[in-house]
Amino acid sequence: MPGVGSLCHHGRVTAVDRTHPIAVFDSGVGGLTVLHECLVWLPHEDFVYLGDTARFPYGGRDADDLRARSLAVARRLRDDGAKMIVVACNSATSAALPALRDELGDAVAVVGTVEPAARLAAAATRNGRVGLLATPATVASGAYARTLADVDLTSVACPKLAPLIQAGGELDSRVVALVDEYCEPLIAAGVDTVVLGCTHYPLVRAVLQRALGRGVTIVSSGQAIADEVERQLTERDIENDTDRRGSYRFVCSGDAGEFRALAARSLQLPVDGVERIDIEEYVGVAGRAA
């Protein structure tokens, strides 16, 4: 089956075809935690993963910058034939989801990270006290606070954690010390549920669970997003044939070799190759002619 890039090279794809791929994007390898769940639970679908590594990290950028960059990435993926775009980044979801849905309209479904994870957390908490570990951009956006308005939410911005995970080093004492520091306010607040509000964080889930204690439920968005993707595919009647084995491939805006090495360690599935692509031409473009 054709993947993204072979479906349309110039101009906008206007028809939704069930055989077209689902695109997943993030600024780095964190979104691979979402892709992994989608590959496991939707093995009949084709996927393309875009790592916008030239602009990593998203978490420290302001809302306008995030919105502009997310729109540029989405335009590229739309014009390359994606039937659905999964924004596998909490910072981008928080800043850009309404703008993405406005621009793409009914032509391309858009799934974000915040709402699926928030629903899981609201259902999981027993004492009504929920913690959030997220990037500064996600915390500042208030997206989780608005979605989890009925619980007592304690939010902690973790500016150093995603870059440390993205670097791909060993899980050493630096990671443990940083996780302990970020989890301390949540323990003090008596939370019984913690949302991992960055898709990088599940890559150090074991360290986080040890810091928080076994009585705290950790919620990450991967499984919830896979469920939401399946729901929207069915609702829109664009699910691929279930008796086939889907494909997946990778593109990035930065160094392809560096991304492949990081992805191979993070995905827990084979990463055969990575193509470097250009996104800059899509920045600030309001739309493209059909």
Concatenate the DSSP letters of all residues of 224-272 into one string: HHHHHHHHHHHHHT-PPPTTS---EEEEESS-HHHHHHHHHHHHSS---
The residue count for the chain:
290
Provide the pLDDT for residue 284: 74
Q: pLDDT tens digits for 76-132?
A: 999 999 999 999 999 999 999 999 999 999 889 999 999 999 999 999 999 999 999
Tokens encoding 194 = 């913690």
Is 89 labeled as catalytic in the residue annotation? yes
Confidence of residue 289 (pLDDT cuts 50, 70, 90): very low
Task: Measure CA of the first residue to CA of the last residue in the chain; give whole Å.
Answer: 23
Give the CA diameter of the chain.
Answer: 55
Mean pLDDT of all residues in 66-77: 96
Single out the catalytic residue among 158, 183, 198, 252: 198
Question: What's the chain's average pLDDT?
Answer: 90
Provide the pLDDT for residue 103: 93
Which of these, 257, 222, 209, lies nearest to 53 by C-alpha position?
257
Domains in the chain: ranges and CATH: 22-112+223-282 (3.40.50.1860), 115-221 (3.40.50.1860)
β-strand partners of 50: 25, 251
Q: pTM for this structure?
A: 0.84
Provide the pLDDT for residue 15: 58
**Tokens 């090495």, residue located:** 261
Confidence of residue 286 (pLDDT cuts 50, 70, 90): low
Single out the catalytic residue among 89, 158, 183, 252: 89
Q: pLDDT tens digits for 143-202?
A: 999 999 999 999 999 999 999 988 877 778 999 999 999 999 999 999 999 999 999 999
Question: Number of helices (H) and strands (E), helices first, in the chain?
Answer: 11, 10
**Between 85 and 17, where is the model more confident?**
85
Provide the pLDDT for residue 129: 98
Residues 28/57, Cβ–Cβ less than 8 Å: yes
Provide the pLDDT for residue 285: 66
Please state, in angstroms and rounded to a whole number, the distance separating the CA atoms of residues 142 and 215: 26
**Tokens 């916008």, residue located:** 52
Residues in Cβ contact with 247 at an 8 Å cutoff, skipping those fewer than 6 apart: 1, 3, 21, 46, 47
Q: pLDDT tens digits for 205-244?
A: 999 999 999 999 999 988 889 999 999 999 999 999 999 9
Helices in 15-135 by DSSP H: which ranges? 32-41, 63-79, 90-104, 114-124
**Tokens 């093995």, residue located:** 43
Burial of 242 (C-beta count, 10 Å sphere; 0-12/13-18/19+): exposed
Provide the pLDDT for residue 11: 42
